[in-house]
């Protein structure tokens, strides 16, 4: 019963728009042609202009909106509760959305539920945790940002004068470990002696702690800082004011630090546009998509003016290595920072080895923290 649980507000809204629509179609018959358009809904957990996670999805929304005949509707600050189901329902029933992008991890259960209720609508989720048995009109996708962090690490390793770099993490989760390891391994690939101080703040968003941590890292002599928090804006601005280099995360943060910005690890959620196109054309689409540079699911920010050409070339060469699958992120000999052997000499993990990456709960050698 799809109509159950319909809120009074949305009913009124719908009734109103029906009347308005009939009035408009009567007055302007030419507009009926526009009804062939397809509406795509984007749901964000925070403000879409946060210089961070949500902005990376907003960028994708703009790419989807650029597809011919597609209209995008958006809603910000939707909490990871039953609220998201109401938003989805209203987007489908009122706006006629045919594709829904749920851009926060915690939407997963609601998305699955609504996917059963609306089998004609395509749903996407950014956790890439779709498995056999889940509704087939759901797509899970996520990029390997550790590869982009590796490239940031190369730039950081080349630009650091002190040989110490700093990584600020939000929570001790597998992708934070992978990103940090990518950053350190990249830096060590150009400067084997480099060390990285890691601080986990414990919060997705805590500006005071992030600014304080950035100051502490700089006081310890770290001269390149990267922050894996929801909005790295505070950390980047603080580091810029202190005159040290920074790398970005999530989306393009170069305008925040005109002097010290090196490059940044960005998502490329644009595969969302491919899903929409395939879905509209009635072509098959994957239910699970993971990938790095090879699959064009991550990217790096434009280089800052501080980065010399030879470093840019080196970074771009490594990027090509990921694209050609000649550069492997995790390869032996590899130890963690407790001295445990992770990979023996000659042992290599493929960049697409998701099960291995999901199990990473250690920092590589050279990491302090």
What does the binding site for another protein look like in residue numbers (CB under 8 A)? 46-47, 49-51, 76, 166, 197-213, 215-220, 222, 231, 233-234, 237-238, 241-242, 256, 368-369
- How many Å apart are CA 125 and CA 170, to the nearest integer? 21
How far is residue 167 CA from its own chain's centroid?
18
Whose Cβ is closer to another protein: residue 159's or residue 234's? 234
Whose Cβ is closer to another protein: residue 162's or residue 320's? 162
Looking at residue 143, what DSSP letter applies?
A: E
- How many Å apart are CA 82 and CA 146, to the nearest integer? 32
Q: How far is the CB of 59 from another protein (least distance, A)?
A: 13
Whose Cβ is closer to another protein: residue 187's or residue 225's? 225
- How many Å apart are CA 179 and CA 167, to the nearest integer? 9
Whose Cβ is closer to another protein: residue 115's or residue 199's? 199
**Cβ contacts of 174 within 8 Å, gap of 6 or more:** 357, 358, 359, 360, 361
Q: How far is the CB of 44 from another protein (least distance, A)?
A: 12
Q: How far is the CB of 231 from another protein (least distance, A)?
A: 6
Q: Please count the residues of the chain.
A: 369
| C-alpha dist (Å) from residue 202 to 22, 66, 205, 308 | 53, 38, 9, 35
DSSP-based helix, strand, coil % in the chain, nearest 5: 40, 20, 40
Around Cβ 304, how many Cβ atoms within 10 Å?
22
Bond preceding residue 94 cis, omega within 30 of 0: no
Q: How far is the CB of 162 from another protein (least distance, A)?
A: 11
Whose Cβ is closer to another protein: residue 166's or residue 186's? 166
Let me know: does 102 contact 123? Beta carbons within 8 Å.
yes
| C-alpha dist (Å) from residue 189 to 71, 127, 152, 203 | 45, 30, 12, 30
Phi and psi at residue 112, to the nearest 5° = -60, -45
3 state DSSP class of 39: strand
Q: How many CA atoms does the CB half-sphere of 252 hold within 13 Å? A: 13
- How many Å apart are CA 134 and CA 138, to the nearest integer? 8
Whose Cβ is closer to another protein: residue 81's or residue 220's? 220
Q: How far is the CB of 254 from another protein (least distance, A)?
A: 13
Q: Where are the alpha helices (DSSP H) in 250-300?
A: 271-280
Whose Cβ is closer to another protein: residue 179's or residue 197's? 197
Whose Cβ is closer to another protein: residue 323's or residue 368's? 368
Q: How far is the CB of 200 from another protein (least distance, A)?
A: 6
Let me know: does 328 contact 150? Beta carbons within 8 Å.
no
Q: How far is the CB of 211 from another protein (least distance, A)?
A: 3
Q: How far is the CB of 220 from another protein (least distance, A)?
A: 5
Q: How far is the CB of 251 from another protein (least distance, A)?
A: 11
Whose Cβ is closer to another protein: residue 53's or residue 322's? 53
How far is residue 139 CA from its own chain's centroid?
15
Whose Cβ is closer to another protein: residue 190's or residue 222's? 222
């Amino acid at each position: 019963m799809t109509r159950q649980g319909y809120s009074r507000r949305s009913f009124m809204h719908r009734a109103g728009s029906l009347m308005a629509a009939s009035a408009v179609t009567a007055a302007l018959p030419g507009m009926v042609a526009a009804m062939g358009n397809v509406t795509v809904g984007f749901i964000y957990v925070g403000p879409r202009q946060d210089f961070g996670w949500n902005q990376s999805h907003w960028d994708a929304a703009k790419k989807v909106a650029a597809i011919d005949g597609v209209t995008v509707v958006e809603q910000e600050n939707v909490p990871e509760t039953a609220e998201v189901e109401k938003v989805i329902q209203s987007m489908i029933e009122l706006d006629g959305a045919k594709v829904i992008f749920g851009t926060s991890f915690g939407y997963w259960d609601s998305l699955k539920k609504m996917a059963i209720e609306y089998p004609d609508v395509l749903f996407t989720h950014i956790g890439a945790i779709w498995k056999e048995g889940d509704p087939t009109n759901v797509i899970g996708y996520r990029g390997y940002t550790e590869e982009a962090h590796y490239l940031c690490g190369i730039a950081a390793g080349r630009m650091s004068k002190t040989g110490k770099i700093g990584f600020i993490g939000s929570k001790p989760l597998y992708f934070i470990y992978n990103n940090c390891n990518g950053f350190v391994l990249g830096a060590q690939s150009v400067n084997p002696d480099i060390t990285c101080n890691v601080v986990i703040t414990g919060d997705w968003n805590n500006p005071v702690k992030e600014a304080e941590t950035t100051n502490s890292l700089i006081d310890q002599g770290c001269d390149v800082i990267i922050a894996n928090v929801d909005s790295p804006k505070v950390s980047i601005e603080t580091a810029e004011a202190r005159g040290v280099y920074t790398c970005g995360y999530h989306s393009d943060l170069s305008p925040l630090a005109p002097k010290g910005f090196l490059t940044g690890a960005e998502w490329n959620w644009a595969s969302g546009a491919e899903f929409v196109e395939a879905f509209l054309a009635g072509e098959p689409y994957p239910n699970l998509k993971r990938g790095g540079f090879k699959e064009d699911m991550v990217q790096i920010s434009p280089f800052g003016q501080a980065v010399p050409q030879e470093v840019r070339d080196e970074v771009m060469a490594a990027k090509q290595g990921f694209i050609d699958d000649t550069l492997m992120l995790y390869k032996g000999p590899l130890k963690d920072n407790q001295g445990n052997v992770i990979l023996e000499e000659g042992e290599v993990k493929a960049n697409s080895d998701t099960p291995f990456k999901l199990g990473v709960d250690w920092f590589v050698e050279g990491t302090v923290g």
